[in-house]
Amino acid sequence: LKGLPSSDRVGVRPVQRRRPAATPAAMGFARNPVAVHAAGWAEDQGRRSEMEDGFVFVDQFGGRPTSAFFAVYDGHGGRQVVDFVTAELHQNVLRELRKTNSIPDALLQAFQLTDEDMVRRNIMQSGCTACCCLLQEEGHARVIYTAHLGDSRAVMSRGGSATRLTSMTDHKATDPLEGKRVIEAGGFIMNDRVNGMLAMTRALGDHLLKMPILPNDVVSNVPDITSTDLSPQDAFVILACDGVWDVINDQQAVELVTESMRELTPIARQLEAEGRSMAEILARMLVEEALARGSNDNISCIVIFL
């Protein structure tokens, strides 16, 4: 479940337009998923010295054939927190769902429990954003619940138009409301950073900016949580870190995927025969497009066909 399963990792040759010194992009896909039509992912270290992203796709989440959990995590300051979150957060969501029928409550408690567990294990230095989606069937409807901290994002194609599943606010020190919350918690904004240190105002980890080191959590672990009822117009979801969203906006991402889907549809059976997935190719396309547009961050992307 953690990041890219080794059986699904595929090394891909660098394309001409990429910078010369780089780790080759990796891509993979879920084989014969049940809860969704397809799921594919891609990642690239970019110009960074270390790959600090992580992501998860869990089909039939909690043993339910109509449920899936998928998430991207963008780490900073090392891999310690992102590795912990990638392994533990969805497990904590499952545990909390056994205690309550409220999915928002379960997501909130899972985020806070995961963050508290780090302190108990003395994981204090690094941190990560989180963007998690939980797909559920409720009665005759399918619903996506989304929880996020930081500036990773989930965007859905609804009739060809981009629909933001995460809240419209990226949790960054440049946002006035987020800055106000930081100040009210006893922190300050300097050089567009929380206490002059961190661009994110909400994250998992970063415990030097939280209790008990500080009197209050200057950096919050409380996610924004949304729910979206799915309709027949809803085609796919893109989850990605800011390595994508800093250079590609929501609508551009939807249009890039839609256009590429049209080009790939005639060879879909050939791809399947070759053991490939359209979803992974589309995720890789977005990663490569972000690189071509000058993204200098780690880049991770998941594409889910609903």
* 128-169 pLDDT, tens digit each: 999 999 999 999 999 999 999 999 999 999 999 999 999 998
Residue 33 tokens read as 């998923």
Instruction: Out of 49-63, 226-240, 259-273, pick the least confident.
Output: 259-273
Average pLDDT over residues 225-249: 98
Residue 117, helix vs strand vs coil: helix
**pLDDT at position 3 over 70:** no
**pLDDT at position 244 over 50:** yes
pLDDT at position 269: 87
Burial of residue 246, with CB atoms counted within 10 A of its CB: 0-12 exposed, 13-18 middle, 19 or more buried: middle
- Residue pair 132/68 in contact (Cβ under 8 Å)? The answer is no
**pLDDT at position 176 over 90:** yes
Count how many residues are written for the chain. 306
pLDDT at position 25: 59
Average pLDDT over residues 57-67: 97
**pLDDT at position 250 over 50:** yes
> Domain spans of the chain?
6-169+224-305
Residue 205's contacts (CB-CB under 8 Å, 6 or more residues apart) are: 77, 80, 81, 84, 85, 115, 118, 123, 125, 126, 127, 128
pLDDT at position 154: 99
Comparing CA positions, the residue from 226, 227, 169 lying closest to residue 202 is 169
Q: What percent of the chain has pLDDT over 70?
A: 92
More confident residue, 3 or 32: 32
pLDDT at position 99: 97
The pTM of this model reads 0.90
What does the pLDDT look like over 67-118, one tens digit per residue? 999 999 999 999 999 999 999 999 999 999 999 999 999 999 999 999 999 9
More confident residue, 265 or 239: 239
Residue entry with tokens 């791809």: 271
pLDDT mean across residues, the chain: 92
Instruction: Out of 3-7, 13-17, 58-62, 152-156, pick the least confident.
Output: 13-17
**pLDDT at position 2 over 60:** no
Assigned CATH topology for domain 6-169+224-305:
Phosphatase 2c; domain 1 (3.60.40)
Residue 41 tokens read as 């992912």
Band (6; pLDDT cuts 50, 70, 90): very low
Average pLDDT over residues 175-202: 98
Band (56; pLDDT cuts 50, 70, 90): very high
What does the pLDDT look like over 8-52, one tens digit per residue? 333 322 222 233 233 445 899 999 999 999 999 999 999 999 999
Q: Rounded CA gap, 14 and 210, in Å? A: 41
